[in-house]
Amino acid sequence: MAHELEFYIDGQWVKPSGNRTLGVIDPSNEEVFATIALGEQADVDKAVAAARAAFPAFAATSKAERLALMRRLAEAYKKRYDAIADILSREMGAPKELAHRAQAAMGTAHLAKMIETLENFEFEELRGTTLIAKEPIGVVGMITPWNWPLNQIMCKVAPALAAGCTMVLKPSEIAPLNAIIFAEAMEEAGVPKGVFNLVNGDGPTVGEAISRHPGVDMVSFTGSTRAGILVAKAAADTVKRVHQELGGKSANIILDDADLKKSVKLGVESVMRNSGQSCNAPTRMFVPEKLHEEALAIAKQVAEPLKVGAPSADGVFLGPVVSEVQYEKIQRLIEAGIKEGATLVTGGTGRPEGLNRGYYVRPTVF
């Protein structure tokens, strides 16, 4: 990877229009280990112009041509699989096993499923005397998060390729390096120039520019509710299609007839996996009142032995959380729980014993 200070626009790696940069921090030691360029409105304008120019020809390609492109992408991605997993582990703190077995693997899985879907998908359907034709929407702006970076990138890019859309991607600036490797895979796969464009940057600048841009027909955003509101407002003036997957975690409801030990164990481990940074983490567990004390004892027994440590170490279940901002937010929430009178079963504020730097959080159960 040699393109940290460049963007991929119109089929080539280009210098940014401005000179803003951002250090990428390794959350395990709080040190900057790479620097990326941050885009401006002018960079988004160039990327959107390239995507608009490429759209008519790409929209006219056959299903067979798009399948061939996606299969080449699958091969190019596989060549970079270990590099993607390694960089995900370093830039977001995922334990190496999770990064290889799940984080990087989701990119492969989503692309394979989209290839299978496209193989069996019909774009035209005759209902009586009415022909229903499904057409590509146009230029898609994509804004992706840091907690499952490649998962979300592939969840947006693969369907867009299958449909014949062109695109501009802004990955999270907190974990951006995996997206650069992904762009290199797209280049090797021979994606036609202008079909896929990558502009790194922050939300208030590049994210806002993509959401507001009149040349973008649809914006797909995954992230916080707060940012999602801003995206929707910015998109409203041009009445573009808006697709959002916003923040929120689910309740875990365990009924009387469940295997309590197994269910609580699975629930606690599901919360702690990916250091609690998954939108499907079942962070609120509801159990029958008569089983409450037993469930607490099981949760404590499961949470306390979970190993917290450097993502590169063997047997680590929880790496650090992704950033200082997230670490401080979690510490405030734990403090609030204690002050408001919740029963602290295990964990608490501060780093786990033996860890004096890095954004490590103690596995905590109230």
Strand, coil or helix: what is 225? helix
- The sign of the torsion formed by the CA atoms of 144, 147, 149, 153 equals negative
pLDDT attached to residue 1: 59
Residues 210 and 259 in one domain: no
Q: What is the pLDDT of residues 351-360, one digit of tens each?
A: 999 999 999 9
Q: Look at residues 252, 291, 279 and name the one whose alpha carbon lies nearest to residue 268.
A: 252
Tokens found for residue 177: 């390096």
pLDDT attached to residue 247: 78
Q: What is the pLDDT of residues 230-253, one digit of tens each?
A: 999 999 999 999 999 997 778 999
165 is catalytic: no
Q: What is the pTM of this model?
A: 0.95
Q: Look at residues 63, 46, 84 and name the one whose alpha carbon lies nearest to residue 161.
A: 63
Residues 147 and 220 in one domain: yes
Is 179's pLDDT higher than 70? yes
Q: Look at residues 219, 211, 207 and name the one whose alpha carbon lies nearest to residue 237.
A: 211
304 is catalytic: no
Tally the domains of the chain.
2
Q: What range defines the domain where residue 259 resides?
A: 251-339
Q: End of a domain among 246, 264, 282?
A: 246
Q: What is the pLDDT of residues 77-134, one digit of tens each?
A: 999 999 999 999 999 999 999 999 999 999 999 999 999 999 999 999 999 999 999 9
> Which one from 30, 97, 188, 245 is the annotated catalytic residue?
245
| Cβ atoms of 127 and 154 closer than 8 Å | no
Place of tokens 């159960």: 365
Is 156's pLDDT higher than 70? yes
Place of tokens 């990119």: 107
pLDDT attached to residue 249: 77
Q: What is the pLDDT of residues 21-36, one digit of tens each?
A: 999 999 999 999 999 9
Q: What proportion of the chain, given as a percentage, has pLDDT over 90?
A: 98
Q: Look at residues 169, 176, 154, 108 and name the one whose alpha carbon lies nearest to residue 322.
A: 176
The mean per-residue pLDDT over the stretch 187-192 comes to: 98
In a domain, 355, yes or no: no
In a domain, 34, yes or no: yes
In a domain, 24, yes or no: yes
The mean per-residue pLDDT over the stretch 193-218 comes to: 98
Taking the C-alpha atoms of residue 23 and residue 287, their distance in angstroms, rounded to an integer, is: 44
Is 313's pLDDT higher than 90? yes
Taking the C-alpha atoms of residue 343 and residue 38, their distance in angstroms, rounded to an integer, is: 44
The mean per-residue pLDDT over the stretch 281-285 comes to: 93
What would the DSSP string read from start to end of 222-246? EE-HHHHHHHHHHHHTTT-EEEEEE
| Cβ atoms of 95 and 317 closer than 8 Å | yes
Residues 175 and 317 in one domain: no
Place of tokens 């949760």: 299
> Which one from 279, 328, 335, 353 is the annotated catalytic residue?
279
Residues 108 and 40 in one domain: yes
